[in-house]
C-alpha cells in the first residue's frame, strides 16, 4: 500500500499565543471568583489545548480540551463547545482512536453550522473525510472533501483549499485515477508555495512521489521523497516523517536493496512512537513483515504481522487490513499451511474487491460531478445553504444520539469483558511466565544467529563491490597517463556509489589525443557493468577499426554496443551519453579540435568568451531510426579551454530550497574559474558541489573534465 499524507485543517477564532503565556493567563483567571463561568477563560483553555497538540503534547492537550468542554456545556457557550470537540477529535486522530475522533468531529459539525462558523464547518467536513478514507469509504470521503473545498473557495481560504486539494488527490490515488490525483496535488503545491507553507509543500511532495512510484517511475519518486526529507529535516518536523520513511523503503524494496528497506521501515516504526501514530506503526509492522517473507526471516515475520493485524483491527483501518492479509497469505504459502493461506487469500481478495469495485469508482465520479454542478449553479444561493445547513444539523443530531447509545453499550460490554480477562490472566499467569521466558531465550539465540548471517553476507557483498571498484578503476586512465597526453587538465570524478556508471576515457594515436566523458545508463553496479561494455567498444572503434573522426568512432561504438546486447534474450535498451573530442597541436601552435557528442554537449572558451556546441540528441545504444553522429571541427589556440561533462552535477538537488543546480548555473560557475590554475578549478567545483548538496543524497555520478590547450 502506497501511503500519502493527509492534511489537517485547523480551527481557531483568535490569534494564537505561546503556550507559556496562555498558562500564565489561566492562573490570572483562576485567581478571580466565578472564573469557571467566564467564556474568556474557556476560550483560553481551548487555545492552550490547541497549542499543546500542535507541539504533539497530546495527553496534556486532552486535559485542557476536556475541561473546556465540561465548562462550556452548562453555559451553552457554543463556540467553546465546538472548538473543544474539534481539538478533542484531532487528539483522538493522532492517537489512532478513530471512532472517538469521528464522534468528536460529528459533534462539532452541527454547532459550527448553527453559529455560521464556515471555517469550522469546513474543518469538520475535512477531518470526517479523512477518517472515512482510513476506513476505505472513498466515495463518502470525496463527498466530505468536495463540500469542504467549496466552502474554502467561497471564503477565499487558501490554506483550506490547499489541504482539501491534497486530500482529494489521495482519494483519487486510492481509486487508481493517477492523472486526476496529480492535478489536485499540483494545485495544493501551487497554493502552499504562494503562502510559503514549507511543511505543506513537503508533505505534498511525499504524495507526488507515491504517484510517480505507482506510474512506474521510481527514480522520479525517490527525487520527490529526498526533497521532502530535506525540507522535513530543515524544519525539524516529525509529522509525516513515518510515511516518508515507509515510501523510501518501498523504493529500496523494489530495487531489492533489502538492508536499506528494512532500516527505513524500522525508522518509520520508531518515528510513529514519538507522536503515538498507531496507524503508521501498523503499516510499518505490516511492511516489515512482508519484507521478512521475501527474505525468509520467518520468525520475526510472524511477530511483525501479528502486531500489524492487531493494530489494524483495533483501528478498523481497511487499507492496512488489506496489506496484512496479503502478507499473511504469502507467509502461510511459504510455511506450507494451505488452510490459513486460503483464508488470508480470500480476505485479501474480498477487501480489494470492496475498495476498487466499479460501484465505488462510479460513486466517486458522481461525487465530483455533483461538486462541479453545485459550484457553478448554486454557489450564491442562500436558500440552498439554509436547506443544506438544516439537513446537516438534523443528520448530525441523529448521529450524536446514535453514537452516544453505541458508546454506552460498548462500555457495558467492555466492563464485562475486562472482568473475564482479569480472571483468565490470573489463572494463566504463572504457567505463561515460564513458557514466555523459555521462548524469549530461544528467540534471542535465533536473533543472534540471524544477525551473524546477515553481517557475514553483507561483508561478502561489500567485499565483492569493492573488488569491482578496483577493476573499474583499472580501466580509467591514470593522472600520469593523462598528463603525458595533456599537460594542463583536471578530472572531477565523484561516483554516487562505490562503483559508477560514469567513466572517462583517453588514448593517444600518432600525436592525436582522444578524450571523453561518458555517462552510462544507471549508477552503482548496473551502471558499472554497462560502462565496461561501452569502454571496450570505444577502444575497439579506435584501435581495432582504426577510426579517427569522433563522429565515426561514436557510430562504430553504437554498433558494437548494440551487437553485444543483442546476444541476450532480453530486450536490453541500456546505453551511454558521451562527449568525445580529438586534439592535435600543429606546427604553428594552432590546435585542431574535432568533437562529437551523444546527448552531452561541449563547452569551450576562446579569448575568455563562452561557446557551446549542442549534442546530437541520440544515445549510444539501441535506438529507433538511428542517424550518424556529426563531427564538428574547431581551430583554437594555446590558452583556450575545453570542458567535457555528464549531467550529474547540473541535476543535483540542493541549496536552501532543494532545487536542481542546473546547467546554466554550472556554466556560470566555470566561467568564473577559467583564468585560475586547473587544480584550483577542480577544488572550487568540488567544494561548490558539496556545499550545494548539503545533507541531501547525491542522486547521480558526476564527471567533469577541464582541458587548457
Is 481 among the domain residues? yes
Q: Residue 184 CA to chain centroid, in angstroms?
A: 17
Q: Are 683 and 491 contacting, i.e. CB atoms less than 8 angstroms apart? A: no
DSSP-assigned states of every residue in 599-648: B--EEEEETTEEEEEPPBS--EE--TT--PPPPEEEEEETT-EEEEE-SH
Axis-axis angle for helices 358-377, 138-154 (nearest 10): 20
- The C-alpha atoms of residue 228 and residue 208 are separated, in whole angstroms, by 10
- The C-alpha atoms of residue 316 and residue 121 are separated, in whole angstroms, by 25
DSSP-assigned states of every residue in 129-158: HHHHHHTT-HHHHHHHHHHHHHHHHHTT-H
Give the position of cell 469509504. 137
Choice among 302-316, 403-417, 438-452 with the minimum mean pLDDT? 403-417
* CATH at 611: 3.60.40.10
Is 549 among the domain residues? yes
Give the position of cell 476498487. 356
| 25: Cβ contacts below 8 Å, ≥ 6 apart | 17, 44
Return the C-alpha cell found at 98. 478513530
| 659: Cβ contacts below 8 Å, ≥ 6 apart | 653
Q: Which contiguous run of DSSP H or E holds residue 78?
A: helix 78-95
- The C-alpha atoms of residue 168 and residue 138 are separated, in whole angstroms, by 10
Question: From the CA atom positions of the chain, what is the Rg in Å?
Answer: 32
Q: pLDDT tens digit string along 94-132? A: 777 888 888 899 999 999 999 999 888 998 998 898 888
Q: Which contiguous run of DSSP H or E holds residue 595?
A: strand 590-598
Write down the pLDDT at residue 365. 45
Write down the pLDDT at residue 263. 93
Q: In this structure, which long-range contacts are made by residues 444-447, counting pairs with CB atoms below 8 Å and at least 24 apart in sequence?
A: 446/299, 447/300
Dihedral pair phi/psi, residue 586, rounded to 5°: -85, 175
Is 281 among the domain residues? no
Q: Is the pLDDT of residue 395 over 80?
A: no
Please name which of 355, 356, 349, 314 lies closest in space to residue 328, comparing C-alpha atoms: 349
Is 672 among the domain residues? yes
| 498 vs 534 pLDDT, higher one | 534
Burial of 383 (0-12, 13-18, 19+ CB in 10 A): exposed
Q: Is the pLDDT of residue 409 over 60?
A: no
- The C-alpha atoms of residue 131 and residue 90 are separated, in whole angstroms, by 11
Write down the pLDDT at residue 605. 94
Q: Residue 185 CA to chain centroid, in angstroms?
A: 13
State the chain's mean pLDDT as an integer: 82
Q: pLDDT tens digit string along 258-277? A: 999 999 999 989 988 887 78
Write down the pLDDT at residue 155. 87
Q: Residue 182 CA to chain centroid, in angstroms?
A: 14
Write down the pLDDT at residue 471. 63
Choice among 91-105, 118-132, 162-176, 463-477 with the minimum mean pLDDT? 463-477
Please state, for a pLDDT cut of 90, what percent of the chain lies above it: 29
Is 610 among the domain residues? yes
- The C-alpha atoms of residue 436 and residue 443 are separated, in whole angstroms, by 10
Structural domain span for residue 571:
476-708
Q: Are 161 and 191 contacting, i.e. CB atoms less than 8 angstroms apart? A: yes
Return the C-alpha cell found at 79. 463556540
Write down the pLDDT at residue 418. 55
Write down the pLDDT at residue 408. 58
Global pTM exceeds 0.75: no
Is 338 among the domain residues? no
- The C-alpha atoms of residue 593 and residue 615 are separated, in whole angstroms, by 15
- The C-alpha atoms of residue 501 and residue 582 are separated, in whole angstroms, by 23
Question: How would you label 151-189 residue by residue, b for 16+ Cβ within 10 Å and e otherwise?
Answer: bbbeeebbbbbbbbbbbbbbbbbbbebbebbbebbebbb
Number of domains in the chain: 1
- The C-alpha atoms of residue 291 and residue 302 are separated, in whole angstroms, by 11
Sign of CA dihedral 527, 528, 529, 531: positive
What does the pLDDT average to over 606-626? 89
| 612 vs 441 pLDDT, higher one | 612
Return the C-alpha cell found at 101. 475522533
Sign of CA dihedral 274, 278, 283, 284: positive
Write down the pLDDT at residue 78. 93
- The C-alpha atoms of residue 277 and residue 285 are separated, in whole angstroms, by 13
Is 20 among the domain residues? no
Is 703 among the domain residues? yes
Amino acid at each position: 500500500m502506497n501511503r500519502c499524507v493527509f492534511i489537517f485543517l485547523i480551527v481557531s477564532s483568535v490569534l494564537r499565543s505561546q503556550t507559556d503565556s496562555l498558562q500564565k493567563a489561566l492562573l490570572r483567571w483562576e485567581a478571580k471568583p466565578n472564573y469557571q463561568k467566564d467564556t474568556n477563560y474557556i476560550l483560553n483553555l481551548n487555545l492552550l489545548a490547541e497549542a499543546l497538540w500542535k507541539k504533539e503534547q497530546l495527553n496534556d492537550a486532552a486535559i485542557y480540551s476536556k475541561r473546556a468542554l465540561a465548562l462550556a456545556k452548562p453555559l451553552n457557550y457554543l463556540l467553546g463547545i465546538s472548538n473543544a470537540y474539534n481539538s478533542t477529535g484531532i487528539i483522538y486522530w493522532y492517537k489512532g482512536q478513530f471512532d472517538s475522533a469521528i464522534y468528536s468531529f460529528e459533534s462539532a459539525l452541527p454547532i459550527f453550522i448553527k453559529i455560521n462558523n464556515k471555517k469550522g464547518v469546513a474543518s469538520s467536513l475535512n477531518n470526517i473525510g479523512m477518517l472515512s478514507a482510513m476506513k476505505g469509504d472513498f466515495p463518502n470521503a470525496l463527498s466530505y472533501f468536495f463540500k469542504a473545498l467549496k466552502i474554502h473557495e467561497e471564503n477565499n481560504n487558501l490554506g483550506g483549499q490547499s489541504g482539501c486539494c491534497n486530500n482529494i488527490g489521495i482519494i483519487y490515488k486510492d481509486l487508481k485515477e493517477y492523472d486526476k490525483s496529480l492535478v489536485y496535488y499540483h494545485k495544493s503545491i501551487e497554493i502552499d508555495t504562494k503562502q510559503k507553507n514549507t511543511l505543506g509543500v513537503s508533505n505534498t511532495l511525499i504524495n507526488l512521489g507515491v504517484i510517480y512510484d505507482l506510474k512506474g517511475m521510481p527514480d522520479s519518486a525517490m527525487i520527490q521523497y529526498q526533497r521532502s526529507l530535506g525540507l522535513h529535516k530543515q524544519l525539524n518536523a516529525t509529522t509525516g516523517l513515518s510515511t516518508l520513511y515507509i515510501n523510501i523503503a518501498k523504493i529500496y524494496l523494489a530495487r531489492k536493496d533489502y538492508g536499506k528497506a528494512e532500516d527505513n521501515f524500522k525508522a518509520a516504526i520508531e518515528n510513529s512512537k514519538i507522536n503515538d501514530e498507531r496507524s503508521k506503526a501498523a503499516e510499518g509492522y505490516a511492511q516489515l513483515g512482508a519484507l521478512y517473507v521475501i527474505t525468509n526471516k520467518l520468525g520475526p515475520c510472524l511477530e511483525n504481522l501479528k502486531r500489524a493485524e492487531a493494530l489494524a483491527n483495533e483501528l478498523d483501518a481497511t487499507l492496512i487490513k488489506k496489506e496484512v492479509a496479503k502478507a499473511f497469505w504469502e507467509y502461510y504459502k511459504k510455511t506450507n499451511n494451505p488452510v490459513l493461506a486460503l483464508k488470508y487469500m480470500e480476505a485479501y481478495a474480498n477487501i480489494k474487491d470492496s475498495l476498487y469495485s466499479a460501484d465505488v469508482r462510479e460513486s466517486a465520479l458522481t461525487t465530483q460531478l455533483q461538486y462541479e454542478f453545485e459550484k457553478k449553479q448554486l454557489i450564491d444561493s442562500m436558500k440552498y445553504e439554509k436547506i443544506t445547513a438544516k439537513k446537516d444539523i438534523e443528520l448530525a443530531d441523529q448521529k450524536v444520539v446514535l453514537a452516544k447509545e453505541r458508546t454506552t453499550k460498548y462500555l457495558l460490554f467492555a466492563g464485562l469483558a475486562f472482568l473475564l480477562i482479569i480472571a483468565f490472566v490470573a489463572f494463566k499467569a504463572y504457567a505463561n511466565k515460564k513458557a514466555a521466558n523459555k521462548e524469549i531465550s530461544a528467540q534471542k539465540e535465533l536473533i543472534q544467529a540471524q544477525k551473524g548471517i546477515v553481517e557475514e553476507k553483507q561483508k561478502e557483498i561489500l567485499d565483492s563491490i569493492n573488488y569491482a571498484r578496483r577493476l573499474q578503476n583499472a580501466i580509467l586512465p591514470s593522472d600520469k597517463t593523462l598528463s603525458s597526453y595533456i599537460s594542463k587538465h583536471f578530472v572531477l570524478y565523484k561516483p554516487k556509489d562505490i562503483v559508477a556508471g560514469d567513466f572517462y576515457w583517453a588514448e593517444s594515436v600518432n600525436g592525436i589525443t582522444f578524450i571523453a566523458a561518458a555517462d552510462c545508463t544507471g549508477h552503482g553496479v548496473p551502471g558499472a557493468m554497462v560502462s565496461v561494455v561501452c569502454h571496450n567498444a570505444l577502444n575497439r572503434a579506435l584501435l581495432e577499426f582504426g577510426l579517427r573522426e569522433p563522429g565515426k568512432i561514436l557510430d562504430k561504438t553504437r554498433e558494437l554496443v548494440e551487437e553485444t546486447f543483442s546476444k541476450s534474450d532480453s530486450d536490453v535498451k541500456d546505453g551511454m551519453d558521451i562527449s568525445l573530442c580529438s586534439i592535435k597541436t600543429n606546427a604553428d601552435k594552432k590546435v585542431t579540435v574535432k568533437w562529437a557528442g551523444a546527448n552531452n554537449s561541449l563547452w569551450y572558451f576562446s579569448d575568455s568568451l563562452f561557446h557551446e556546441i549542442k549534442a546530437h540528441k541520440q544515445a549510444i545504444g539501441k535506438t529507433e531510426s538511428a542517424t550518424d553522429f556529426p563531427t564538428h571541427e574547431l581551430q583554437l589556440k594555446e590558452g583556450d579551454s575545453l570542458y567535457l561533462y555528464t549531467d550529474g552535477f547540473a541535476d543535483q538537488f540542493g541549496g536552501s530550497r532543494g532545487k536542481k543546480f542546473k546547467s546554466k548555473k554550472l556554466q556560470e560557475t566555470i566561467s568564473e574559474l577559467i583564468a585560475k590554475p586547473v587544480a584550483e578549478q577542480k577544488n572550487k567545483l568540488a567544494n561548490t558541489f558539496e556545499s550545494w548538496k548539503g545533507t541531501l543524497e547525491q542522486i547521480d555520478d558526476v564527471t567533469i573534465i577541464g582541458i587548457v590547450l
